[in-house]
Amino acid sequence: MTTVTDIATSAPAKHRAEVATALPPARGQTFLKLVALELRKAVNTRSGRVLIAAILLLAVIAIGWQLTHLPQGPAGFDGFLGAASTSVLLLLPVIGVMAMTSEWTQRTALTTFTLSPRRVRVQLAKFVSAIVLSVVVMSVVVALAFAGTALAGAVTGHPASYVAVGGQLAGAYLTVALNVVMGAAFGAVIAQTAVALLVYFIAPTAWSLAGPRLFKDNANWLDVFGAFGRIAERDLHGMLPETLTSIGVWIVLPTIVGLWASSRREVK
C-alpha cells in the first residue's frame, strides 16, 4: 500500500494544475517593443543565424584573400571595406526578405497578427528592425575591415591608409540599409520567400542589362544599381533626379505597396 502511494506521488505528473500568478496589468504594445521583437525573430531561428554566420564568414574570407593579395605600397582601408561588404550587400537583404515572407510561408502570421492586429505597425517594425540589424552586422564587418587594414599595415611595414574613412563608412552603411529595405519591400509585396528572392535579385539586374539597350540614357532613371553606386561614392554626378527616381521606384514604391498588400492579405 505504501509502495503504491509512493509511486503515485513521486511519479512526475504530466500535467500540473495551472498556477495562478498575479500578472502585471495589460498595456498596449509600444512600437519600440515591436521592433525589439522583430529583431529577435530575425536571429532566433536557425536559418537567420546561419545567414548571419555566413555573411561574417564570407567577410572574413574576403579580408583573408585581400591580405594574401596585397598590392605594392600602403594597404588602403577602402579595399578591405569593399571586399568585406560584398557578402553583406549580397546576403543581408535576404534577411530583409525573410523577415517579411517567413511569417506567411511558416504561417506564423496567424499568431503575429492575432497578437498584434494593427498590421501596418508590425510591418513598419519589421522594416526598422531590418535596418537596425543591417547596421549591427555592418558594424562587425567594418571592425573586421579595420582589423584587416591594421594587420596589412603591420605585415607590409607600410603605414595603412585611411583616406576619407568617414565618407566611405557613410556610403557603405547607407547602401547596405537601402539594399535591406529594398529586400524587405520585395518580401512584403511577394509573400513567397523563393519568388521574392528571385525577383529581388533578377529584376534590377535584368533592367540594368536590358534598359540601356532599349532606352539608352533614359534607362538611368530606373537603374537602381547606378543609384547605389553613386550613393556609395557620395557623388551623384549631377544625377540627383535620376537617383531619387530609381530609389523611389525600386524601394519606396515596393515599400508602400508591400505595406498595403500585407495589411490586407488574408491570413490562412
Partner 1 sequence: MITVENLTKRYGSTTAVHDVSFTVQPGSITGFLGPNGAGKSTTLRMLTGLTPPTSGTATITGKRYADLPNPGRVVGVMLDAAAQHPGRTGRETLLLNASLLGVPKGRVEEMLAAVGLSHAAKRRVGQYSLGMRQRLGIASALLGDPAVLILDEPANGMDPEGIRWMRGLLQDFASRGGTVILSSHLLGEVQATVDRLVVIGGGRIVANGSLDELLAGSGTFVRGLDPIGLDQALTAAGLNLEPLPDGALRVDGTAERVGRAAAAAGQILLELRQSDGAGLEDLFFQLTTPVAEAA
| Minimum distance from residue 117 beta carbon to partner 1 (Å) | 4
Q: Cβ distance 34 to 130 under 8 Å?
A: no
Q: Report which of 126, 108, 117 is spatially closest to residue 186, judged by C-alpha positions.
A: 126
SS3 137: helix
| Minimum distance from residue 263 beta carbon to partner 1 (Å) | 10
Q: Is 116 left (phi over 0), alpha (psi -120 to 50) or beta?
A: beta
Q: Which is nearer to partner 1, 7 or 26 (CB)?
A: 26
Q: Which is nearer to partner 1, 24 or 166 (CB)?
A: 24
Q: Which is nearer to partner 1, 29 or 156 (CB)?
A: 29
Give residues with Cβ within 8 angstroms of 42, minimum separation 6: 48, 95, 98, 99, 129, 130, 133
7-15 long-range CB contacts below 8 Å, 24 or more apart? none
Q: Which is nearer to partner 1, 194 or 209 (CB)?
A: 194
| Minimum distance from residue 110 beta carbon to partner 1 (Å) | 4
Give residues with Cβ within 8 angstroms of 103, minimum separation 6: 109, 112
Q: Cβ distance 115 to 176 under 8 Å?
A: no
| Minimum distance from residue 63 beta carbon to partner 1 (Å) | 29
Q: Which is nearer to partner 1, 115 or 202 (CB)?
A: 115
Measured CA to CA, the distance from residue 130 to residue 57 in angstroms comes to 20
Amino acid at 88: V
| Minimum distance from residue 265 beta carbon to partner 1 (Å) | 10
| Minimum distance from residue 30 beta carbon to partner 1 (Å) | 10
Please give the residue ranges that form the binding site for partner 1 (CB under 8 A): 14-21, 23-24, 26-29, 33-34, 36-37, 40-41, 44-48, 102, 106-111, 113-118, 264, 266-267
Q: Which is nearer to partner 1, 217 or 266 (CB)?
A: 266
| Minimum distance from residue 235 beta carbon to partner 1 (Å) | 42
Q: Which is nearer to partner 1, 158 or 265 (CB)?
A: 265
Measured CA to CA, the distance from residue 268 to residue 191 in angstroms comes to 13
Measured CA to CA, the distance from residue 127 to residue 255 in angstroms comes to 9
Measured CA to CA, the distance from residue 100 to residue 42 in angstroms comes to 10
